[in-house]
Amino acid sequence: QVQLVESGGGLVQPGGSLRLSCAASGSIFNIYAMGWYRQAPGKQRELVAQIPSGGSPNYADSVRGRFTISRDNAKNTVYLQMNSLKPEDTAIYYCNADLIMTDWRRGGYWGQGTQVTVSS
């Protein structure tokens, strides 16, 4: 079993900042890419940022320069620092991990989601 637990969402004013965290736990052998997706009401889930193991991160055009993704491999944790938040960043943010379990099964796993609301 694998679990991804997110934290750090909330309500923030436009221009403000939030930091999301996502910790993976369970029978994990190795994690390849970790990333953040978001889904706003009435819209499809979209990639926000992704960071491969030992590689360079990539960002959606809409957040590049404002958001920073990082990971702590020793803690199986990925972070998303969100600065200069805009109302259009309002969404449920989901953590994703592409990993191999100790029984050699590989798959993508999702967290339960954390709400981010940007409003004055």
CA 87 to the chain's CA centroid: 18
DSSP 54: T
- Output the CA torsion sign for 110, 112, 118, 119: positive
Nearest Cα neighbor of 86 from 69, 62, 68 is 62
Residue with the two structure tokens 């309002």:
90
Task: Supply the pLDDT for residue 24.
Answer: 97
For residues 62 and 25, give the distance between their C-alpha atoms in angstroms, rounded to a whole number.
Answer: 30
Per-residue pLDDT for the chain (120 aa), expressed as one digit of tens each?
899 999 999 999 999 999 999 999 999 999 999 999 999 999 999 999 999 998 899 999 999 999 999 999 999 999 999 999 999 999 999 999 999 999 999 999 999 999 999 999
Given a contact cutoff of 8 angstroms between Cβ atoms, the answer to whether 102 and 65 are in contact is no
CA 114 to chain CA mean position, Å: 10
* 8 Å CB contact between 102 and 29: yes
